[in-house]
Chain A
Amino acid sequence: MAAKSSSDFDSGRAESNEANSKWLDAHYDPMANIHTFSSCLALADLHGDGEYKLVVGDLGPGGQNPYLKVLKGATVLTESPLPSLPAAAATFLMEQHEPRTPALALASGPCVYVYKNLRPYFKFNLPQLPPNPLEQDLWDQAKEDRIDPLTLKEMLESIREKAEIPLSVQSLRFLQLELSEMESFVNQNKSKTIKRQTVITTMTTLKKNLADEDAISCLVLGTENKGLLIIDPEAFTILAEMDIPSVPVFLEASGQFDVEFQLAAACRNGTIYILKRDSKHPKYSIELSAQPVGLVQVHKILVIGSTQDSLHGFTHKGKKLWTVQMPAAILTMNLLEHRSRSLQAVMVGLANTEVRIYRDKVLLNVIRTPDTVTSLCFGRYGREDNTLIMTTRGGGLIIKILKRTAVFVEGTGEVGSPPAQAMKLNVPRKTRLYVDQTLREREAGTGMHQIFQTDLYLLHLRAARAYVQALESSLSPMSVTAREPLKLHAVVQGLGPTFKLTLHLQNTSTARPVLGLLVCFLYDEALYALPRAFFKVPLLVPGLNYPLETFVQSLSSKGTSDIIRVLVLREGQGVPQLSAHISMPVSEGLMAA
């Protein structure tokens, strides 16, 4: 045992690096075989000996083998099997008597199991719900053998699809059966009265009448039946019952039951409902754009993690304060409360094997873990006040202790919003003209839009007409006639007075060569002189680029320039195939001379 734990020490120490030097690696056991979520972790001094234990509602590998485990230090103190999967674990003080050892409550299925001194103390069952009258009627008929199992099955199925009130467990189980098993099941169960019971989805604690650390607390349960129940800690009676529009999955409570309290329930429909004392129904609701994956109350702010990989901060009245984007999906969240420094922060376990600690939207610390963390818990463990307990997807247990000297400083990590966002832009003041224009736009908006549209259409029309005309008169440097697709591209080189004019002529057809083309230059003879103003083009092989060079002599001494038009003609036709306008540059050589 000693050898095993020491190897754990060594591996834990090797992982510590500069980034999480705030933490001491106390223990890491990748094979601890603990599979659970943050809601099923609780820390409490269960025996009243000053040594805080860890209570784990363990789902077992693959959710097969639920156990209640109590850990002391790095070792499991006790283990006891559970009848069904745990939904939540909480520790609370039941009564005022000394010694004030907290009781342990474990919600599982339709029951809350209460343990004192780690011995079973009480089992609270959720109240039964009225069964569906139609279903009741069917089973009554079955009892008197007036209905055969097959018809019963059909009828029950139709109820399941239509009815508002869901079926009982007995009927649901019946529907799952094979034909051969039905008869015996009906005979076995027909005399039983059908019961409908809901299950607990979440649980938290709420102080009863004192805000003290060691005051007695009520249990608050969320059920699959879209309800919230507050349970008295001594008599285990229902003190209050509330309805919400969806199934609660996370609960946060603040205040005291007898004075004023507030419940926040994150539900499966992506909405957070906030309820107060004396309100049977939600007072405020916060609609998220995605499903919630965690709910933590930090001071007066509700911090909600959503499936869109982001954390949101909301006030108790549902006003959104901030949003922080996470680098990966959020797996679990819990509260970090550092009492001696009066710091409250949110710990977020991410899918990229990081645990991030945020105070509001400021990142305080990042812990890298060897495996993805599925549950987090911070508090007094053993004799150490600031212990962080994490369990991993692979069933590992990581225990880290916050150094006594560690201080979380803001701004060490990345800051929530970039500094540019806070900078004030120098927006000019509104002028008289601006105001007049705005007024006019407001009044005559439709007319202005219509005029603009008319002009735009006219412009389109004119452009189209010009294009058609250019195509018809072959004014463009691209010929698109089916027989002779040609491309012309002209380049002028030189400073003057002599320029070199290169015409690049290309036959863009795939196979057909072009023969019998002529090139003709049209220019002002007072300004330019060309050796040949008219020549024949050789055979154009498809795809090749033919550079046709000619020299242009500028005659003007005044530094004027003009346009030379290039026409590509076909022998025996009057209309040019192609045309291009070449803007000649000013002759710089002459100007210098």
Chain B
Amino acid sequence: MGAFLFRRFALTLVTLLGITLMTFLVMRIAPGGLTAGTTDLSARVSAHEQRKKFAALYDLDKPWYVQYGRWLKRLSRLDFGRSFKDDRPVLEKISERLPNTLLLNVLSLGLVFFVAVPLGILAAVKQNTVWDRAVSALVFIGFSAPTFWLALMLMMLFGVTLGWLPLSGLHALNADELSATSSVLDMARHLVLPVLISAFAGLAGLSRFVRNGLLEVVRQDYVRTARAKGLPESRVIFRHALRNALIPVVTLLGLSLPDLIGGGFIFETIFAFPGMGRLGFDAVMARDFPVVMGVGTIAAFLTLAGNLLADVTYALVDPRIRLAGKHR
């Protein structure tokens, strides 16, 4: 286990460096140079001052590897620079948005898990029946529907036609006047549509994954043994088969993180949801480089952390993985 963890962490470190290098290079190839778009961004700071500050901050007079090295050094102190737009520290801007995005993602992951796993089981147990086909159809639609369009449709149905749910934001306009309970309720109402949309695409992938995993496991000898000794089918499925079929789900949940965060860039924008995705999108539109780089790096870090966590958990629950390397 120790060797496995060491290898895994070393790889993660390399990837981490790569992420920063890539973010840096993408920003460097921006046409017109980094200072080109900075003039009209801030009324509070003059263009000249802005440019000087920027040149000093990113060492633009030095070769690129010096620039990268210094940027990396600042990153290691969690210094992402200041926004061009309002001159506030990037980290501060991100950390006030991050909890909202995490809340959204945790809720939708939870929803995905609790809906997709039963659906997958249903489809596998009733393989080749109407139930299986219905789940299949749902899976295909989930893979094929543009999430932003589904968001529009739900907004039209629940927001405009029925008027049950608010269309955008996270709080009502009069949120400050509300009592504690009704303010939580208000937030919950604002969260319904974003969570539903964010969960929908993940639902398709996971339920198919569970179905195929379970079908695979059901063919194994130990499941046949369980059946042969006369256990009721429900016990065979839920006690013996499901446990092993669910192990890979851990990985899938980890791997779906970038999609969840990435999907956020669209529907957080549609719902005017104050999350990290919308911050990133607005920053890209305003050419607010420090914020773009900050959001990009942090989103990639989060994904990496998710993958690492998934891998380690997987190795913990499945000895085959952590022992596999030893034969090489």
Verify that A and B bind, or say they do not: no
| Chain B interface (Cβ < 8 Å from any Cβ of A) | none
| Chain A interface (Cβ < 8 Å from any Cβ of B) | none
